[in-house]
Amino acid sequence: MAQLDILVMIVFGIMIFVIGLVFTRMGSRSGQAFFEAGGETPWWINGLSLFISYFSAGTFVVWGSIAYRQGLVANSIQLTMAISGAITALLIAGKWRRTGAKTAAEFIGRRFNTGTQQFYTYLILLLSLFNTGTVLYPVGKMVSVATPLPLNACIVVIGLIIILYTAAGGLWAVLVTDVVQFVVLLAAVLIVVPAALKEVHGFRGFLGGAPSGFFSFFSKDYTLGFMLAFIGYQTVYISGNWSYVQRYTSVSNERNARKVAWLFSGLYLVSPLIWMLPPMIYRVIDPHLQGLAAENAYMLLCEKVLPAGLIGLVLSGMISATSSKANTTINLAATVFAKDIYYRLLRPLASEKEQIFVGRLFTLLFGAGTILVAIWIPAAGGVVEVVLSIASIAGSALFAPIIWSLYSPRQTAFSVVLSTSVALGVNLFFKFFAPFLLGVRLSRTEETVSGVGLPLLLLVGFELWYFFRGGVVLRGGGVSAGGGLAGFAGDEGLTPSAGSAGDVQPGRHADAMRQNRFGVSVIAWAVGFTGAGILVLGVLARGQGVVIVVGAGIMVVGGYVGRLVRKMKVPEGRVEKEVAQQAKSI
């Protein structure tokens, strides 16, 4: 990799870090800004953040390796995410906003009890630790393939950058960097695809050189049954993962919460057609990658077809994707620990500033743990095995019972905890112990069906049991013969608590609008700067007209976002002047 590529990556890293620092002052001023990003963020920011948080560099390594080996199957797998996003938009996203809770942990505490909240909180923190490790590892591997740096050093450096800017700026830093990272990633892929097709003499050469069965929708490992089960899993994950729940609860109303999920679904409907082409094309260029070497297909293609400077841009895009997913999960973990463990259980009298300090400290500690997990992944059999194992074992078991309780007034603390515990126990047994004790090893499809189906069957059983008993569950798990559910209003979900999103608070709303304007202005400047940088790279590379067009297009988008800032109405006052001063210093 040339020095220009390294320079591009350094400039990009500095830009993302500076964005985090820009929001430090805002995040330090109030818990509303640090933990909730004002609570009324624009839906398109949350939608792009949700998409890029889901779309990590693991996509290029995990699904990219599948695309290299098995072709169009990788697109089929990702199409399940578009379907699941549509289901979430139709049925679940608005429900989360209607509860008035700002986090899933808050909802569980009010819907059930503190013990149930703690049970799920600790399990989610453990799951988040491993999930974040699985997204740090792929980008570290990509950078190590393209540079002389060892894998572990790449993981540590990238992890530290993510941890530091997330600790500095809170949720606003996460959301804004997510949008900028989406732009960088999109630009990188739009540049790679034409260069890759040119290498194989266009689509005709690609189609003619692909192996037999390369364009089948299903394969031996990824059958129709697996896809249907995966739709179930993805629906539960997109609508129940605590990091993503924040995207639905931090907008202003239910309609905007649904828009967040619709934007995610629309982007996943079209993006796999672009994202998965490069590793599929590389199969035609070099069909000899074996085993874990297939995970390097994306980066090997970039090194082959891109000139100096543009490889650094592509790597920056990969780092962008990983940063987004990692910072989202780390921020969620810090929020849950500071608000739902430290404040509610350990120090109820803690001030907002103390909670912010604890959130930042936990960000650093939790982030260090994720780096260690990422370093461990090769010993666990590779990232594909780890990602799919986590999905089948824990995803539905942890998230399905809570989503179910959004609709059902009958589920109790006992029923949801038991459903989760039994599902986790059975899935862990068949994954790690049954092959040795019983000689039984489940296929990928059977693992996924079991992981999704078992907790749902248990929940259905409890639902029928309570229904035939003729009772409606009270808060905390009791059942009354005919009474209502405390905190519930039929299909209206939880009654919003004081200070929740259900209340109209003029002072809070005004501050949220000021935060929105500042956040969007940072996006406008950062997108414009990114476009200008890509345009310069296109000029330096020579003969790269596509790069120049992409850079110019991104600059136009930055200008359009800037116009949106000027149209945003912001209440006048002292805070607005502070925001204006911060905007000038960008």
pTM: 0.78
Q: Is 14 exposed, middle or buried (0-12, 13-18, 19+ CB in 10 A)?
A: exposed
Q: Report which of residues 540 and 560 the model is more confident about.
A: 560
Mean pLDDT of the chain: 79
Write down the pLDDT at residue 571.
59
pLDDT of 44-85, one tens digit each? 999 988 888 776 655 677 778 888 888 899 888 888 999 999
Sign, CA dihedral 143-147-148-149, equals negative
Question: Of 123-132, 399-408, 545-554, 567-576, which gets the smallest average pLDDT?
Answer: 567-576
Q: Which pLDDT does position 31 carry in this prediction?
A: 59
Six-digit token string for 515: 């935060």
| Percent of the chain residues topping a pLDDT of 70 | 82
pLDDT digits (tens, 9 = 90+) for 418-472: 999 998 888 888 877 888 888 877 776 777 777 778 899 999 999 999 888 875 5
Q: Does 24 have pLDDT greater than 90?
A: no
Quick one: pLDDT band at residue 26, thresholds 50, 70, 90? low
Length of the chain: 586
Q: DSSP characters for 376-419?
A: HGGGGT-HHHHHHHHIIIIIHHHHHHHHHHHH-SS--HHHHHHH
pLDDT single digits (tens) 189-222: 888 888 889 888 888 888 888 888 888 888 887 8
- 392-433 pLDDT, tens digit each: 677 788 899 999 999 988 899 999 999 999 988 888 888 778
228-242 pLDDT, tens digit per residue, is 888 988 898 899 988
Give per-residue burial for 427-464: e unless 16+ CB within 10 Å, then b: beebbeeeeeeeeeebebbbbbbbbbbbbbebbeebbe
